């Protein structure tokens, strides 16, 4: 008995989704996204504000974007993600559609529906796509995993810790200030 062939989707399929429906595309498979919680949005806002303030004060050329913000990973049309926070230091990667290529730093805030994606699929995809730094912020477990792919290092932190940012010397984020 022959197995049914699985459909391979492209970015064109993402753009054909009904208005208001969000999904990501990894290796040609569509993964639908649930709306974020209030805690999720508070964390995203606070972290991105700290990053934006650092960039502004230091007159750095990087930019910070909050999701939904399109990131087109790789050279094909089968990978499209919307990280919660993307920091991009190469302005040539940014156009009116989003980021063409890998951001320098990605932060994903885990939701119950995104746990498997953030810890597994996206971890592998971001590493192989040459993202320099990847944070998994998990409010349910009150922990933050920091992957410094440039130095092949990983650290685990809590919501009581001050976390150094690898791509920006001099920037640390004090998670205790967030009172989540």
Whether residue 168 has pLDDT greater than 90: yes
Residue 146 has pLDDT above 90, yes or no: yes
- Strands (DSSP E) found in 96-142: 98-100, 105-109, 133-138
Which two structure tokens, joined as six digits, stand for 163? 């976390």
Per-residue model confidence (pLDDT) at position 154:
97
- Quote the Cα angle for 41-13-91, to 5°: 60
Give first-to-last CA distance, the chain, whole Å.
Answer: 53
47 or 113, higher pLDDT: 47
CA distances (Å), origin 11, targets 4, 23, 115? 22, 10, 23
Beta carbons within 10 angstroms of residue 163's beta carbon: 18
Give 10's pLDDT tier (boundaries 50, 70, 90): very high
pTM of the model: 0.94
* φ, ψ of residue 75 in degrees (nearest 5): -95, 5
């Amino acid at each position: 008995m022959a197995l049914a062939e699985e459909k391979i989707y492209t970015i064109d399929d993402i753009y054909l989704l009904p208005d208001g429906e969000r999904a990501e595309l990894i290796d040609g498979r569509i993964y639908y996204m649930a709306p974020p919680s209030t805690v999720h949005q508070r964390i995203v806002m606070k972290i991105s504000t700290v990053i934006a303030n650092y960039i502004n004060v230091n007159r750095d050329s990087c930019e910070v974007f909050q999701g939904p913000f399109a990131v087109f990973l790789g050279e094909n049309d089968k990978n499209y993600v919307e990280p919660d926070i993307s920091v991009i230091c190469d302005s040539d990667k940014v156009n009116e559609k989003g980021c063409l290529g890998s951001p320098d730093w990605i932060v994903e805030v885990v939701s119950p529906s995104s746990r498997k994606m953030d810890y597994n699929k996206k971890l592998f995809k971001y590493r192989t796509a040459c993202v320099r730094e990847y944070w998994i912020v998990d409010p349910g477990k009150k922990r933050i995993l920091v992957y410094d792919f440039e130095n092949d290092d990983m650290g685990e932190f809590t919501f009581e810790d001050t976390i150094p940012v690898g791509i920006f010397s001099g920037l640390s984020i004090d998670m205790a200030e967030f009172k989540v």
